[in-house]
Amino acid sequence: MRGPLFLAPLALVAGGTALATAPIAQKLGEPLPPRTPEQVYSSTCAYCHGANVGPVIRGRALPAAMVEMTVRQGRNAMPAFRPSEISPAELHGLAQWIEAGPADLKEKGQ
Amino acid sequence: MTVTLDRRGLLGAGVAGAASVGLSGVAGAKPVLAKGMRKADFKGAIAAMRAVVGPEWVFADEDAVRPWRKTYVPDPSGRHAPVGAVCPGTVEEVQALVKIANQFRQPLWPVSTGKNMGYGMTSTAAPGQVVLDLKRMNRIISVDPELCTALVEPGVTYRQLKDYLVEHNLPLWIDVPTVGPVASPVGNTLDRGVGYTPYGEHFMVQCGMEVVLPNGEILRTGMGSTRNPSAWQAFKWGYGPYLDGLFTQSNFGVVTKMGMWLMPAPPVYKPFVVRHKRVEDVAKIVEAMRPLRISNIIPNVVLMMSAGYQLAMFQRRGEIWDHPEPVTDEALMAAGAKVGLGYWNTYFALYGTPEMIAANEAIVRAAFAAIDGEVLTEAEMQGNPYFHHHATLMQGGLSLEEVGIVRWKGAGGGLAWFAPVAPAKGNETTGQIALAKQILGRHGFDYTSAFAIGSRELHHIIALLYDKSDPEEEKRADACYRELVAGFGERGWASYRTGVHAMDLVAQQYGAVNRAFNATLKHAIDPNHILAPGKSGIA
DSSP string, B205-223: GEEEEEEE-TTS-EEE-GG
Q: Is residue A96 part of a domain?
A: yes
Q: Which of B396, B286, B401, B394 is nearest to B348 (CA)?
A: B394
Q: What is the pLDDT of residue A20?
A: 54
What residues contact residue B164 under an 8 Å CB cut-off, 6+ apart?
A23, A26, B140, B143, B170
Interstrand relation of B108-111 and B130-133 (parallel, antiparallel or unpaired): parallel
Q: Determine, yes or no, domain membership for A26.
A: no
Does residue A7 have a pLDDT over 60? no
Say what the pLDDT of residue A21 is: 64
CA–CA separation, A86 vs A105, rounded Å? 25
Cα–Cα nearest to B178, from B188, B169, B165: B188
Q: Is the pTM of this model over 0.90?
A: yes
Using the Cβ of A48 and the Cβ atoms of chain B, whether some distance falls under 8 Å is answered with yes
Quick check: is A73 in a domain? yes
The Cα–Cα gap between B439 and B493 comes to: 15
| Alpha-carbon gap, residue A14 to A8, rounded angstroms | 14
First to last CA, chain A: 50
Task: With a cut of 70, say whether residue A6 has pLDDT above it.
Answer: no
Going by C-alpha positions, the residue among B82, B95, B97 that lies closest to residue B50 is: B97
Q: Output the pLDDT for position B29.
A: 58
pLDDT grade for A23, boundaries at 50, 70 and 90: confident
- Nearest CB neighbour to B401, from listed A53, A76, A85: A53
**Residue B333: phi, psi to the nearest 5?**
-65, -40
Query: Within a domain: residue A75?
Result: yes
Residues of B in contact with A14 (CB under 8 A): 388, 392
Q: Structural domain of residue A53, as residue ranges? A: 37-100
Residue A57, domain member (yes or no): yes
Task: Give the number of other CB atoms < 10 A from CB of residue B289.
Answer: 25
- Window 271-290 of B: residues touching A by CB (8 A cutoff) are 271
Min CA distance, B89 vs chain A (Å)? 9
Q: Which domains does chain B have, with CATH numbers?
A: 7-136 (3.30.43.10), 140-264 (3.30.465.10), 268-502 (3.40.462.10)
Q: How many domains is chain A partitioned into structurally? A: 1
Residues of B assigned a catalytic role: 119, 496-497
Which residue type sits at B25?
G
Q: In whole angstroms, what is the distance from residue B42 CA to residue B114 CA? A: 23
Closest by CA position to A68, among listed A48, A50, A32, A93: A93
The answer to the question of residue A82 being in a domain is: yes
- Tell me the average pLDDT across A29-50: 96
Give a yes or no: residue A25 inside a domain: no
Tell me if chain A has a CB within 8 Å of the CB of B138: yes
Interface of A with B in 87-106 (CB under 8 A): none
| Interchain CB distance below 8 Å, B413 and A78 | yes
Confidence bin at A24 (pLDDT 50/70/90): confident
Model confidence pLDDT, tens digit, residues A66-94? 999 999 999 899 999 999 999 999 999 99
**How distant is the Cα of A41 from the closest Cα of chain B, in angstroms?**
12
| Domain membership flag for residue A13 | no
How many percent of chain A have pLDDT more than 90? 71
- Measure CB to CB from residue A23 to each of B145, B167, B266 and give the nearest one: B167
| Residues of chain B with confidence (pLDDT) below 50 | 1-18, 20-28
- CA nearest neighbour of B196 among B175, B223, B182, B221: B175
